[in-house]
Amino acid sequence: MKKNLLFLFVALSLQTISAQNQTTIIAIKNDAGAPTINKNIYGHFAEHLGRCIYGGFFVGDTSKIPNTKGVRNDIIAALKDLKIPNLRWPGGCFADTYHWKDGIGPQEQRPTIVNKWWGGVTEDNSFGTHDFLNMCEVLGAEPYLSGNVGSGTVQELADWVQYTNFSGKSPMSDLRRKNGRTEPWKVKFWGIGNEAWGCGGNMTAEYYAGEYRKFATFMSDWENTGGITRIASGSNGSDYNWTEVMMKNIPLNMLGGLGVHHYAVIDWNKKGDGVDFTELQYFQTMKSALKMEELVTKHAAIMDKYDPEKKVAMLVDEWGGWYEVEKGTNPGFLYQQNTMRDAVLAGATLNIFNNHADRVRMANLAQCVNVLQAVILTDKAKMITTPTYHVMKLYAVHQDAKLLPVSFQSPLYTVNGETLPAVSASASKDKNGAVHISLVNVDSKNKNKIEIDIKDLGVKNFTGSVITSSKLQDYNSFDTPNKIVPVIFKGFENKKGKLEITIPPFSVVVLEGK
């Protein structure tokens, strides 16, 4: 028995050493037919949920926290530095109980409602259409408005389009001018309901397809170039029948985009702590996150059947990690900390979106401030950026760059007999000819060696940045806001046209070649 145990120990040790010495060969192709990575893949999401809007973006113009018309200046600066391309609002589930006319006009005259979805708190509508759209203008971000289908009317949504987009004389444009805005905002992206299969009305796919067609018929914008992009509520994860019904039953000329929602969750009934997690829980989270590859591939295959020219965009307009709320916080506010696990999750997910840029043309991380996998956290006057923020900032180089397709056989990350691909990668070339390669090591214990032939990429000199830390559970706190930030990466050599890279465990690396 002892000999058998000794043999097993030696075998496992040799297997570990072999895994650490294995080199992953990544081929990067200069493909003239490859798609451009749409900048909107790097979008964000702001719902009236917890402290995302109130106490997050919006503190009111009487606050001592520096603000412009009630919106925090530090958050605006951080998001502009992130090059945020678009922002989805007002939900989420909240969208299908939101009546936009409650949020316009003098604040003291706006009615209050109860936010039935998130904590049962009173919503005073002090942050509304003007506040959001003006903020998007300052950010340089495209607004993505989610319309109320669940409890709203066709007329209400059609009026909102006219209010925001029409420059001529009409009842809604006159009302907009009365409320202080002369020129229209020209909102392009419009969601027709949210999660219609669930909180948006518990509709069947067939019923929602009919509702979508009705609402879309009365939403028009003849004045602005390109009109509006109407977006259908997409599937819940792997509900492929939902996508099939949408593509089959909605005429393509009425469908600008189709959503998909997927959260990385260990177990919806026992989601685990945001900071105090084990390696097994980390593995389970990443297993759920990496399922995004399968979801995008299978939904895209269905869309291809009805739309071979890929005119309809796939929008992964809710994604991210979802854990139990931080201890002592309101369970309806979904406030969670953001660790190195989230950095790895973000990097690997964005690589998937980049590599499917032919179909995925928008995505929205949930959510922007103080909710779920936020890029920004606030505590009264304090504000910090999270590891996820820093990943998205490094990856901003891929926005509107030409995809360079990658191919490789990943080594495996093994926990309790289960395996995941350890290495994730994507690459692009920007308009100035610079090449960017983003690499993620999902393995929580072992470094990985990577080799990339760069002779045909037209670049010679590389620099790099890395995001990592001493523990997976590390995070940026209000006392140590810069514990996890990008630092210079030197773990590579250029040997006769081949990059030899050693990427640390649970890390995100971005290389730039010029």
Give me the CATH number covering residue 93.
Answer: 3.20.20.80
Q: Which of 318, 418, 451, 493 is catalytic?
A: 318
Residue 16 maps to a domain: no
Same domain, 457 and 350: no
| Domain termination site, one of 347, 373, 400 | 400
| pLDDT reported for residue 21 | 64
Same domain, 342 and 417: no
Residue 18 maps to a domain: no
| pLDDT reported for residue 47 | 98
Same domain, 447 and 392: no
Calpha distance 124→121 (Å, rounded): 10
Beta bridge partners of residue 192, listed in sequence order: 147, 232
CATH number reported for the structural domain that contains residue 439 in this entry: 2.60.40.1180
Same domain, 251 and 344: yes
Same domain, 338 and 313: yes
Q: Is the dihedral of CA 192, 196, 199, 203 positive or negative?
A: positive
Residue 328 maps to a domain: yes
Residue 363 maps to a domain: yes
Residue 11 maps to a domain: no
Same domain, 123 and 85: yes
Same domain, 243 and 285: yes
Residue corresponding to tokens 């291809």: 304
Residue corresponding to tokens 């570990």: 16
| Total domains in the fold of the chain | 2
Cis previous bond, 90, omega within 30:
yes
Calpha distance 438→397 (Å, rounded): 10
Q: Which of 47, 123, 195, 211 is catalytic?
A: 195
Same domain, 130 and 204: yes
Same domain, 429 and 481: yes
Determine the structural domain holding residue 504 and report its residue range: 23-32+405-513
Asked if residues 466 and 486 have their Cβ atoms less than 8 Å apart, the reply is yes
Coil vs helix vs strand at 144: strand
| pLDDT reported for residue 237 | 92
**Comparing C-alpha atoms, which of 373, 342, 379, 364 is closest to residue 95?**
364
Supply the pTM of this predicted model: 0.94
**Comparing C-alpha atoms, which of 304, 274, 92 is closest to residue 198?**
92
Calpha distance 213→86 (Å, rounded): 25
Same domain, 331 and 426: no
Same domain, 67 and 117: yes
Catalytic residue status for 418: no
Asked if residues 81 and 34 have their Cβ atoms less than 8 Å apart, the reply is no
Residue 85 maps to a domain: yes
Copy the structure tokens of residue 410. Answer: 């990943």
| Domain termination site, one of 346, 377, 400 | 400
Cis previous bond, 92, omega within 30:
yes
Residue 323 maps to a domain: yes
| Domain termination site, one of 348, 380, 400 | 400
Catalytic residue status for 142: no
Residue 117 maps to a domain: yes
**Comparing C-alpha atoms, which of 283, 274, 388, 288 is closest to residue 324?**
274
Same domain, 93 and 131: yes
Calpha distance 505→423 (Å, rounded): 10
| pLDDT reported for residue 225 | 60
Calpha distance 101→120 (Å, rounded): 21
**Going residue by residue through the chain (514 aa), what tens digit of pLDDT does each one get?**
444 544 434 444 444 444 456 899 999 998 889 999 999 999 999 999 999 999 999 999 999 999 999 999 999 999 999 999 999 999 999 999 999 999 999 999 999 999 999 989 999 999 999 999 999 999 999 999 999 999 999 999 999 999 999 999 999 999 999 999 999 999 999 999 999 999 999 999 999 999 999 999 999 876 666 789 999 999 999 999 999 999 999 999 999 999 999 999 999 999 999 999 999 999 999 999 999 999 999 999 999 999 999 999 999 999 999 999 999 999 999 999 999 999 999 999 999 999 999 999 999 999 999 999 999 999 999 999 999 999 999 999 999 999 999 999 999 999 999 999 999 999 999 999 999 999 999 999 999 999 999 988 989 899 999 999 999 999 999 999 999 999 999 999 998 889 999 999 999 999 999 9
Asked if residues 385 and 78 have their Cβ atoms less than 8 Å apart, the reply is yes
